[in-house]
Amino acid sequence: MKTGELPETLRALYPFASHRCTQPGGRQHYLDEGSGEAVIMVHGNPTWSFYYREVIKYLQPRGYRCLVPDHLGCGLSDKPQNWPYRLADHIENLERWVDELGLERFHLIVHDWGGAIGMGLATRQPQRVGKIVVLNTAAFRGPNIPWRIALCRFPYLGGWLVRRLNAFAGPATFMTTTKPLSPEVKNGYLWPYRNGRDRIAIARFVQDIPMERDHPSAATLDTIDQGLSQLKTCPMLIAWGGRDWCFHDWYFKEWQKRFPRAQTLHYPDAGHYVLEDARSELLPELLNFLTR
């Protein structure tokens, strides 16, 4: 799907040119807006590059090159039905894309599953990473999993709920924020996921949460966690929505333990989509962090 084929109301919110690269599983869509220092923004589940639309609009005219991929299966990327959709696969896609762009150095912004994927790349190639912005995410194991997400991991039932009933992307439009999203923004989040086939990656992301020690992605996540120490010299901003019921403040404190020198911003009235709830306060802080 091309940006030009988006509904007019969505193009008004997301007025960017489409780019694509070829990955082993299909064509991956990404945005490449502006020039200057490269800032890679890595989204999570069930969002897509749309989540960073206002960050792009804010940074691009201020001298930054904004690079925002849609993970395979997400947003405007292809949605292969038989691709593995494991954490390691997403990291490899991100690494191939960065290599194809020829980026020697970049800043990194990560959210939700983008934390594990983005930090997976960063721990593989720490010499290329400048500054890091962490937004309600994790790159290490959590203590538990909310029942609302655990339900979507049940064999057969979980896939049926997520793909047939849209029981993950749909509720995310009102369970991730404390301020109601406008109908246009809500539709923007949901537009790429209009049927069960389109929701393949959403279901697979949920299934790929490595809660069990023998989970196929457990070793990948543990390796990332062990490698985070390589990034301690990178300036880091941790900006957190305090009313996130999934990536709650336990994760915020774990990031602080691993990166005690990081600058922190805690927004007690913001939810998981901190860029929606605290955008007006957060964007200037983000710019100040990048320019310092």
The structural domain count of the chain equals 1
Percent of the chain with pLDDT over 70: 99
The answer, yes or no, to whether residue 35 has pLDDT greater than 90, is yes
The answer, yes or no, to whether residue 1 has pLDDT greater than 70, is no
**Structural domain of 153:** 3-291
Q: Once rounded to an integer, what is the mean pLDDT over residues 54-61?
A: 98
Mean pLDDT estimate for the chain: 96
The per-residue pLDDT for 99 is 98
- 180-222 residue pLDDT tens: 999 999 999 999 999 999 999 999 999 999 988 899 999 999 9
The answer, yes or no, to whether residue 261 has pLDDT greater than 60, is yes
The answer, yes or no, to whether residue 2 has pLDDT greater than 60, is no
| CATH code of the domain in which 142 resides | 3.40.50.1820
Long-range contacts of 86-90 (CB under 8 A, 24+ apart): 86/208, 86/216, 86/217, 86/220, 87/116, 87/117, 87/120, 87/208, 87/210, 87/217, 87/220, 87/221, 88/120, 88/217, 88/220, 89/25, 90/117, 90/120
